[in-house]
């Protein structure tokens, strides 16, 4: 697996692209406005990066990251993602995304909505609960005492394994958080959302990021209540 593609190349997509290139992957970036608007980021990332349309990026990726405002999830191309592992970083914020009654009723999760939209893909939920500044600051080599872990949920074991390998290469351990239906355990408003990687400080936005081990992530997931 050598090419990681991005549907959405903003704060989280752009940060992951930087980590992926640093780990030796090729990356293909896309956004809503077209490849020409991504040339600055491509230039920063160097020869392992290029920009494309969302459909072209979806077709090019061995692993594809969807990192768009949730309200745009139905625009994610379906056919070129068939059979692929798709990382879902998205969260539901009604003020930004519009109201999704099924999410307000907690009868499903945002990742299950993306999985329904991409029925032939294998969606894995990860990176949604870490601020991009902390995501960029916390990678560590395998075995480092201060390595951080990220929750990974999905319905396909092979896809979760592929994402765990990707995490390891970019500098993170994984915690198995179950199926996509379990993804609510690290959605906005839960103990496992955001604050843990800031050291639970009241000055979240000023925190440079605090290493967070797998046991802490697991404890936060276990503490989630509906």
Ligand X SMILES: NC(=O)c1ccc[n+]([C@@H]2O[C@H](COP(=O)([O-])OP(=O)(O)OC[C@H]3O[C@@H](n4cnc5c(N)ncnc54)[C@H](OP(=O)(O)O)[C@@H]3O)[C@@H](O)[C@H]2O)c1
Q: Which residues bind ligand X (CB under 6 A)?
A: 7-13, 30-33, 54, 67-70, 72, 75, 89-91, 127-128, 130-132
Nearest approach, Cβ of residue 127 and ligand X (Å): 6
Q: Output the CA torsion sign for 65, 69, 72, 73.
A: positive
**Which C-beta is closer to ligand X: that of 31 or that of 115?**
31
Tokens of 146: 């201060």
Q: Which is nearer to ligand X, 75 or 144 (CB)?
A: 75
Residue placing its CB nearer to ligand X in the complex, 91 or 216:
91
For ligand X, the closer of residues 76 and 162 by Cβ is 76
DSSP states of the chain as a string?
Answer: --EEEEE--SHHHHHHHHHHHHTT-EEEEE-SS-GGGGHHHHHHH-TTEEE--HHHHHHH-SEEEE-S-GGGGGGS-SGGGTT-EEEE-----HHHH---HHHHTTSS-HHHHHHHHSTTSEEEE-STTS-HHHHHH----TT-TT--EEEEEES-HHHHHHHHHHHHHHT-EEEE--SGGGGGGGSTTSTTSSGGGGTT-S-GGG-------HHHHHHHHHT---
Least separation, in Å, of the C-beta of 63 and ligand X? Answer: 16
Q: How far is the CB of 66 from ligand X (least distance, A)?
A: 8
Nearer to ligand X, 111 or 216 (CB): 111
**Residue 72 or 213 with smaller CB distance to ligand X:** 72
**Minimum distance from residue 74 beta carbon to ligand X (Å):** 9
Shortest approach of ligand X to residue 143 CB, angstroms?
A: 26
Q: What does the DSSP 8-state code read for residue 179?
A: S
Q: In angstroms, what is the minimal distance from the CB of 13 to ligand X? A: 5
């Amino acid at each position: 697996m050598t090419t990681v593609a991005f549907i959405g190349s903003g704060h989280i997509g752009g940060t992951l692209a930087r980590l992926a290139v640093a780990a030796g992957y090729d990356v293909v970036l896309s956004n809503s406005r077209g490849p020409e608007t991504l040339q600055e980021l491509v230039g920063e990332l160097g020869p392992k990066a290029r920009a494309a349309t969302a459909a072209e990026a979806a077709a090019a990726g061995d692993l594809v990251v969807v990192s768009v405002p949730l309200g745009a999830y139905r625009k994610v191309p379906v056919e070129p993602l068939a059979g692929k592992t798709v990382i879902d970083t998205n969260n539901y914020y009604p003020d930004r995304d519009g109201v999704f009654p099924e999410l307000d009723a907690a009868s499903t999760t945002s990742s299950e909505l993306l999985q329904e939209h991409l029925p032939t893909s294998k969606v894995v939920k990860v990176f949604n609960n870490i601020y991009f500044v902390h995501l960029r600051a916390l990678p560590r080599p395998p075995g480092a005492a201060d390595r951080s872990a990220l929750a990974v949920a999905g319905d396909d074991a092979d896809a979760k394994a592929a994402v765990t390998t990707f995490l390891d290469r970019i500098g993170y351990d994984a915690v198995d958080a179950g199926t996509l239906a379990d993804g609510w355990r690290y959605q906005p408003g839960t103990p496992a959302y955001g604050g843990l990687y800031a050291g639970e400080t009241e000055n979240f936005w000023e925190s440079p990021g605090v290493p967070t081990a797998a046991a802490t992530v697991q404890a936060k997931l276990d503490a989630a209540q509906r």
